A and B are shown apart, each in its own frame.
Chain A
Amino acid sequence: MAPSGFVGRFFIAVERWSSSVAEHAGQLGLLAWNIGVACVRLRVSKRDILRQLHIIGIQSVMIVLIAAALIGVVTSQQGGYQMQSQIPLYVMGSVVVESVVLEMGPVLTAIVMVGRVGARITAELGTMKVSEQIDALVSVGRDPIEVLAAPRVIAMIISMPLLVAMANLMGITTGMISAQYTLGLGSETFFYGARLFWHSYDLLYSLMKALVFGVSIPLIAVHMGLRTSGGAEGVGRSTTQSVVFMTLTILVIDALFPPLFLN
């Protein structure tokens, strides 16, 4: 008997949704495992990794720094506005540094990388899939995981913490400069405030986030690319889905981080 009515349809939708989530999760796990195996077997070419490091890492430096610079300015402006004379100004140092390091640096860099790198990977692999280039690669005895997936994932894992570190530095610097100009807060006072609430663990926390994002983004991007079907429209569809999927994943991971690692 087919369930009917709203409740029935609701349960069917939930069932379908959860089985597709389970399917994605399973395939992502398998992909991660296969990439791990490829790395352990030393089947990933250094040349491919370097090429991807250039495309994924070096070519992203500029946009990441620009985003971070703006974030530093905004954080310091907004913080200054909210505090207006009730709270000692040196607290601004801590507000800027902590929000950039703990939150804005990693998350904004990740979002930028979703657009710049994740979308690119999905579109690239998706196009290769629908034009049978992936099949062709397999037919000449090469493993798409080793040749295409692994270099991208490795390059992203290496790049992300470095990019986030740069973003943090940039955000703090512009935040400080901006506080100096608009609030008249000198750099010494700024750092005094920053040091007051600083734990060296905060940096680790920031880089851990970067690392987890650095693993998730390319894994999802590769996974969505390789399961593309249906021509140009299919590539468009899977790229969009991939971006949504990556963005949500980043926000969920970001929300899980404080309860798990900040106590």
Chain B
Amino acid sequence: MSVAGNGSGAAIEYRNVFKAFDLPVLSGVTLSVEPGEMFALFGPSGTGKSVLLKTTIALVTPDRGDVIVGGESVYFGGRDALERIRRMVGFVFQYAALFDSLTVFENVEIGIPEESLKRMRANEVAHRVSESLELVNLDPSQVLGKLPSELSGGMKKRVGIARAIAGRPEILLWDEPTTGLDPVNTAAIERLITQLSDELKVTSLLVTHDIEGGLEMCDRVAMLEGGRLRFCGLPEDFRASKDPVVNAFTDRKAATAALDTLEIT
């Protein structure tokens, strides 16, 4: 915890993050997530929620700005700091991103950091993998030996979550973990997120289109729109907001109305 002048103690802090591909995507996002907090990020499709999550561990490099994770700078802290940050953070990809030439077992095993793997005995590793799979409501005996191509979309997604939690990260970035899951599995994943936060004090930053779920579970929520934060605050304030763009997300009728009047793409 040594990097220049950061006394805030936030788990993740985005500082004025800019990113453009062909068009600007993020135009100055500043946001901090406190340790142990469950934070939900909403926003229309294509506004850069996934891009923002990816800047957290330098999968996408911002054009300007910095991200501070656990007190260390992702972009100015050097290679070792980045390695520490990546060990500390688990990432759940929107489209699972499983290694398609590896079995489910190997896919989850690789989520455990190399240093830990070296110290662990084979049965400890196997136990950790099974445990992670059980946490996402998958039956290890049925899936362990399978290849990703033999799994359904929802199963892939849950294996992706198992991989992200297998390394016991302190921070978890969830890119739409429940999209495409049935209600029972959605409940299982939501319970997992809550459990991780309550019992292990894991910090969760959750990108989701399940507004109700996000508002119920999370301590704070934010809305990204047009490259900036449109809202950031408590769930009850989000519900009470008079902002038409926010309303469009909390109220189905307002959403239909917004379709005609607001420029949300």
- Interface size, chain B (Cβ < 8 Å): 24
Residue from the list B59, B114, B164 in contact with A138, Cβ < 8 A: B59
Q: Is B210 an interface residue (CB 8 A)?
A: no
Q: Which residues of B contact A138 (CB under 8 A)?
A: 57-59, 86
Give the Cβ gap from A162 to chain B, nearest Cβ, in Å.
26
Residue from the list A132, A141, A142 in contact with B97, Cβ < 8 A: A132
Known: A138-B57, A138-B86, A139-B86. A132 touches B111 (CB 8 A): no
Q: Which residues of B contact A128 (CB under 8 A)?
A: 99
Please state if B100 and A132 are interface contacts (CB–CB under 8 Å): no
Known: A139-B59, A139-B91, A141-B83. A131 touches B113 (CB 8 A): no
Q: Is A140 an interface residue (CB 8 A)?
A: yes
Please state if A136 and B93 are interface contacts (CB–CB under 8 Å): yes
Q: Which residues of A contact B97 (CB under 8 A)?
A: 131-133, 135-136
- Interface size, chain A (Cβ < 8 Å): 12
Please state if A131 and B100 are interface contacts (CB–CB under 8 Å): yes
Q: Which residues of B contact A232 (CB under 8 A)?
A: none
Q: Which residues of A contact B98 (CB under 8 A)?
A: 133, 136
CA A228 to CA B110, docked complex, whole Å: 24
CA A141 to CA B113, docked complex, whole Å: 7
Please state if A135 and B167 are interface contacts (CB–CB under 8 Å): no
Q: Which residues of A contact B95 (CB under 8 A)?
A: 131-132
Q: Is B158 an interface residue (CB 8 A)?
A: no
Q: Which residues of A contact B113 (CB under 8 A)?
A: 140-141
Of residues 125 through 167 on chain A, the ones whose CB sits less than 8 Å from some CB of chain B are 128, 131-133, 135-142
Please state if A141 and B86 are interface contacts (CB–CB under 8 Å): yes
Q: Which residues of B contact A142 (CB under 8 A)?
A: 110, 114
| Chain A residue, CB-CB nearest to B88 | A141
Q: Which residues of B contact A136 (CB under 8 A)?
A: 91, 93, 97-99, 160, 163
Q: Is B54 an interface residue (CB 8 A)?
A: yes
Please state if A137 and B99 are interface contacts (CB–CB under 8 Å): yes
Q: Which residues of A contact B228 (CB under 8 A)?
A: none
Binary interface encoding of chain B residues 69-111 relative to chain A, with 1 for a CB under 8 A from any of its CBs, else 0: 0000000000000010011011101010111100000000011
Known: A141-B87, A142-B114. A135 touches B54 (CB 8 A): yes
CA A140 to CA B99, docked complex, whole Å: 12
| Chain A residue, CB-CB nearest to B85 | A141
Please state if B59 and A140 are interface contacts (CB–CB under 8 Å): no
Of residues 107 through 139 on chain B, the ones whose CB sits less than 8 Å from some CB of chain A are 110-111, 113-114
Binding site secondary structure of chain B:
loop
Known: A139-B59, A140-B110. A133 touches B99 (CB 8 A): yes
Q: Which residues of B contact A133 (CB under 8 A)?
A: 97-100
Give the Cβ gap from B50 to chain A, nearest Cβ, in Å.
10
Give the Cβ gap from A34 to chain B, nearest Cβ, in Å.
11
Please state if A140 and B111 are interface contacts (CB–CB under 8 Å): yes
Of residues 76 through 105 on chain A, the ones whose CB sits less than 8 Å from some CB of chain B are none
Binary interface encoding of chain A residues 173-189 relative to chain B, with 1 for a CB under 8 A from any of its CBs, else 0: 00000000000000000
Q: Which residues of B contact A135 (CB under 8 A)?
A: 54, 59, 93, 97
| Chain A residue, CB-CB nearest to B111 | A140
Please state if B99 and A139 are interface contacts (CB–CB under 8 Å): no
CA A40 to CA B247, docked complex, whole Å: 57
Q: Which residues of B contact A137 (CB under 8 A)?
A: 99, 110
CA A108 to CA B100, docked complex, whole Å: 33
CA A139 to CA B98, docked complex, whole Å: 12
Give the Cβ gap from B105 to chain A, nearest Cβ, in Å.
15
Give the Cβ gap from B85 to chain A, nearest Cβ, in Å.
9
Give the Cβ gap from B158 to chain A, nearest Cβ, in Å.
15
Q: Which residues of A contact B110 (CB under 8 A)?
A: 137, 140, 142
CA A148 to CA B81, docked complex, whole Å: 23
Q: Which residues of B contact A139 (CB under 8 A)?
A: 57, 59, 86, 89-91, 93, 164
CA A255 to CA B126, docked complex, whole Å: 54
Q: Which residues of B contact A140 (CB under 8 A)?
A: 86, 110-111, 113, 163, 167
Of residues 137 through 175 on chain B, the ones whose CB sits less than 8 Å from some CB of chain A are 160, 163-164, 167
CA A22 to CA B97, docked complex, whole Å: 32
CA A139 to CA B99, docked complex, whole Å: 12
Q: Which residues of B contact A141 (CB under 8 A)?
A: 83, 86-87, 113-114, 167
Give the Cβ gap from A243 to chain B, nearest Cβ, in Å.
22
CA A137 to CA B110, docked complex, whole Å: 8
CA A152 to CA B163, docked complex, whole Å: 25
Given contacts A128-B99, A136-B99, A141-B87, list 14 more A-B pairs with CB under 8 A: A132-B95, A133-B99, A133-B100, A136-B91, A136-B93, A136-B160, A139-B164, A140-B111, A140-B113, A140-B163, A141-B114, A141-B167, A142-B110, A142-B114
5 contacts between A and B (CB under 8 A): A136-B163, A139-B86, A140-B111, A141-B83, A142-B114
